[in-house]
Each structure stands twice: as structure tokens, then as C-alpha cells.
Chain A
Amino acid sequence: MARPTHVCIVASPRPRTGRTTVARALIEFHRLNSGRAQGFDLDAMDNALAQFLPACTMPADIAETQSQVAVFDRLIIADETPKVVDVSAHAFEAFFNVMAEIDFAGEAHRQGVEPVILFAANSDSLSIRSYTQLRARFPGLPVAPIYNDGIVRGHNLRGAFPATSAVALPLHVPALSPALRTIVDARPFSFNKFCRRPPVGTPDLVAAELVSWLKRVYLQFRELELRLLLSNLRGSLKEALPDDLFAPSRPSA
């Protein structure tokens, strides 16, 4: 059985929610695991993701049809290459409108592509409303909230961003210290490269902090991946073994 191709859509209707940091970490997680991942940066104003990881990220302006074709025609290919889409605040509405109009979720299911929406949670009313609307709009898709401690620490968001299924459990992103934040935010930057070989002069404490942070984040990505695989396996088994498999056969006439 071919492995499903995972498409992680990291989105937020608000800027500065730590969305791109999660997208970057996701791409690097997949590259560490399987050596491949494709990123899509829909932030036409900043293109942060494309600047952090230029070798594997395609920038696109989702308002243009050509970009929509370039993005979604690649997302729908079941090539086992994990894909990560960074949906910025200004691309949020347009992206999900196109996604709904072309029935990406339905076609993805038919093609063996598994999309999951990772929603960067925030305490504002727009974020809460958008999360609820996304769940209603794409009922078959897992929508998992991301609680970024560096952004939403102190807010209890569980009530406003409930888990949608056993697959879409919340992701917790620990806060980075200001010193580490400065290093991590300098473009270009690779988490994996830094952890493998920290630049000369990097204090051991800072390097250790990033390794620890990354381990915690990657562990959650691994768990999410396994939950998705398990869910996919359960679905396949259900198809292979119908509910009425052991139903008593009808007496012959």
C-alpha cells in the first residue's frame, strides 16, 4: 500500500502568530526524516518562508490564477513528498475560498493525499471565528490548533479552539528565549543545520536550548504523522473488512 502524501496547511487569519516558524520546522522535520519536502509560501508581501528555506520553497500569490494552478496542481499529486503550505493572514480567505471551490479536500481523498490544517491559534475574535468556520467548511479534514507559547502564553484557548478529532490534537510550540529568537529569525536559517553544527561562537546553552526546543516540536510532528497514518490505516482496514463480514448468511431458499 502506498503511503499517503501529507499536505500540512499552516494558517492564521492574523499576522505574527508564529505560523511561519511552524511551517519552517515542519519542512525541516520532513527533510530530516525522508530527505524531501516541498514548501509553499503564500505570503506575497514578505515571503519569509521562501527566504528561510529558498531551496525547497515556492513563493506564490494566491490571488492570481496562475499561482493557484502552480500551488494546487502540485498539492494534489500523490508523490509521497510531504508538502507544507504557509497561508499568511492576507492569503487566508482567498486560499480557503479556492480550496473549497475546486473541492480540493474531495479530490485529495480520491488521490491518496491527506491534507491537515494546522491553525495558529490566537485569542482575538477573528481567529476564534475563523477556526470555527474552517471546521464547518471542511468537515472531513483534520483541523488542529497550534498553541504557541511565545504568542499566546497566559491565555486559555482550549475552549475556543477545541480539538476536532483524535487525529487533530493541539500542537504546543514552546517559547524561545529572546537570544535564540534573534538567531532563529535571521534569514536564511536552518534548524537542522544549526543543530548539526552550531556556528562558531554560539554559546553552548543557546545551542542546547534550540536542540531541546526542536526535539519537543519534532516529537509532536512525529506524533501527528503517526496519528494520520493510523487513521489512514483504519480507513483502509474498514474498507477491506466491511461491518457485515461475519453477519449470518441468509438461509438458502
Chain B
Amino acid sequence: MSKPAVIIVGADKGGVGKTTVMRTLLDYFLARKVPTRAFDTESPKGTLKRFHPDVTDVVDMNHIPDQMQIFDTLSENAVTLIDVRAGLLSPTLTALRNIGFIDAAKKGQITLSIFHVLGPSIASLDEIVENSDFVNDVRYFLVKNFINNTHFFEWDQATYNSYFKRIKDAVEITVPKLNEMACEQVELASVPFLTFIANKKANGEPAAYSFVLRGYVRHWLGHVWAEYDRIKLVDIVSTREAPQIKATG
């Protein structure tokens, strides 16, 4: 990495699967040996920390000391991922603009990518407009997350396209649906997807997860990672060549 890379995952609505997307990103980078550090802004609870305790810190984005903890310690040696609490994406982007972070990204001093996880309602489209003012010069990804059985059909395609075009070079990413029971079992296990696939507990000991459910997770994660490969995510955060890796345990 030649400069610090930051990935912000957020949405202005809760329950659209932000943390799930974040977990797939952490697994993706782990499998590619890209060092990461993550910040979970669901203070004080921290859902992400439950799955990735080794690399995650729980912070409160409204507290200046916590903002300093994130942005004053950016490193070229690790990708910084921030799971932004529901409803805080737009305020966070505003705060980043105010501290000159967006400008630094525009000048190429840092690499800033935003994963905007969309919900099924028209309100999600309005979020695109809200964010379009200050994100035209960063990498902006619109994530359609089907994992929660979300239906995006209520959007008229023409309407969606008109919103989508507000942000220059925005790229769409699709996260397919994961079998509900498999999803539930990974939640119960409280381990990263890769650990579940490898049939291990959080402490590394062998587990007894279902072969079928592990298969579903492996298949699903492979599709998600194919999307990240498609957008050349490793190249975005690094100057190194991105290796093609399968989601195997």
C-alpha cells in the first residue's frame, strides 16, 4: 500500500446488512493477506467485534477522541474499515468533509472507498442524493444486499437509474441471499464466515457445524468475493496484484 486506505460501510437505515457486508470484506482481505483494522461504531455494543474481535475496536463517532483514534492513526500498512452505525452515514461524510478528509482523498493523499448498503425503500435512493454532494471524487459503491431476503422490485428501474447517475462513477455490487438457516448458524457461532466454513470455533478448536450449511456459506461467500474481485478491490487498496482466491475452508 502506497497510501492509507479507508473503507466506510454504511447506510442511513438499520437492518440492511451493513455489518454482514463488513464481515465479508474482512474475510476477503484476510484471505488475501491484506492487513486490516476495523472500527465498529455501534458503541457500546459492537456487533462486528463479536465476529472479528482481534481487529475490531468499538468507537463512538460522535466523540472527538474516537474520531482521532480512527483518523489520526491511519496507516499505509493496514486497510482501515469503518462500520458506520445506521443513520450516521451522511453525518459521518459531512464530518469527514469538515476535517478535510474528503479533500485529502480528492488530492490522492488517501484512498477512500464508500460502500453504501441500500435498503429496499425509496428512502435509500434519497440517501444517494444526500451523499452525492461530497462523494463524487471518492470510490463509491452501491451495495444491493439480498441477504435479508430484501426485494428491490419496488424501485422503478428508470427512477433508480436517475438516482444512480447522480454520483459519477458509482459502481453497483450485488450481495446474493444466503440460506436463512446457514445465516442463523453463523450468527449463533459468532465466528467469521471463513472460520465457519473451516468448521472451527472462535478459539481455533474443531467445531461440528453442518456440512450442508458450511457448503451454503462457502458458495455464497464465493459469489460475494467474485463481486469484490470484479471491482478489483485489492488493487484499490493496494498497489499489489490481486490473487484469485476461492472461499474454501
Contact = CB atoms under 8 A, between A and B. Distances in A.
Contact of B211 (A65, A66, A102): A102
Given A73-B212, A102-B211, A102-B212, A66 B181 contact: yes
Interface centre among A65, A66, A102, A104 (most CB of B within 10 A): A102
Contacts of B181: 65-66, 69
Given A65-B179, A65-B180, A69-B181, A101 B211 contact: no
A101 B213 CA distance: 10
A210 B127 CA distance: 74
A107 B219 contact: no
Nearest to B184: A65
B134 interface: no
Contact of A69 (B180, B213, B218, B219): B213
B210 A104 contact: no
Given A69-B213, A72-B211, A102-B219, 4 more contacts: A65-B181, A65-B213, A72-B212, A102-B215
B132 to A, nearest CB: 38
Contacts of B213: 65, 69
Contacts of A98: 212
A227 B210 CA distance: 31
B215 A73 contact: no
Interface string A29-70: 000000000000000000000000000000000000110110
Nearest to A75: B211
Main secondary structure of the interface of A (DSSP, over half): helix
Nearest to A77: B211
A72 B212 CA distance: 6
Contacts of A69: 181, 210, 212-213
25 contacts: A65-B179, A65-B181, A65-B182, A65-B212, A65-B213, A66-B181, A68-B212, A69-B210, A69-B212, A73-B210, A73-B211, A73-B212, A76-B211, A98-B212, A101-B216, A101-B219, A102-B211, A102-B216, A102-B218, A102-B219, A103-B215, A103-B218, A103-B219, A104-B215, A107-B215
Contacts of B212: 65, 68-69, 72-73, 98, 102
Nearest to B215: A102
Contacts of A72: 211-212, 215
A76 B214 CA distance: 13
B185 to A, nearest CB: 9
Contacts of B211: 72-73, 76, 102, 107
Interface in B122-181: 179-181
Contacts of A102: 211-212, 214-216, 218-219
Contacts of A107: 211, 215
A78 to B, nearest CB: 12
Interface string B210-228: 1111111011000000000
A98 B219 CA distance: 11
| 4 shortest interchain CB distances as A-B pairs | A102-B215, A65-B181, A72-B212, A69-B212
Interface string B191-217: 000000000000000000011111110
Interface string A86-110: 0000000000001001111001000
Contacts of A65: 179-182, 212-213
A73 B180 CA distance: 17
Contacts of B219: 101-103
A60 B201 CA distance: 29
A69 B215 CA distance: 10
B244 to A, nearest CB: 18
A65 B177 CA distance: 14
Nearest to B214: A102
B60 to A, nearest CB: 38
Nearest to B182: A65
B64 to A, nearest CB: 47
A110 to B, nearest CB: 11
Nearest to A107: B211
Nearest to A66: B181
Given A65-B179, A65-B180, A101 B215 contact: yes
Interface string A210-240: 0000000000000000000000000000000
A211 to B, nearest CB: 40
Contacts of B215: 72, 101-104, 107
A76 B210 CA distance: 10
A59 B102 CA distance: 60
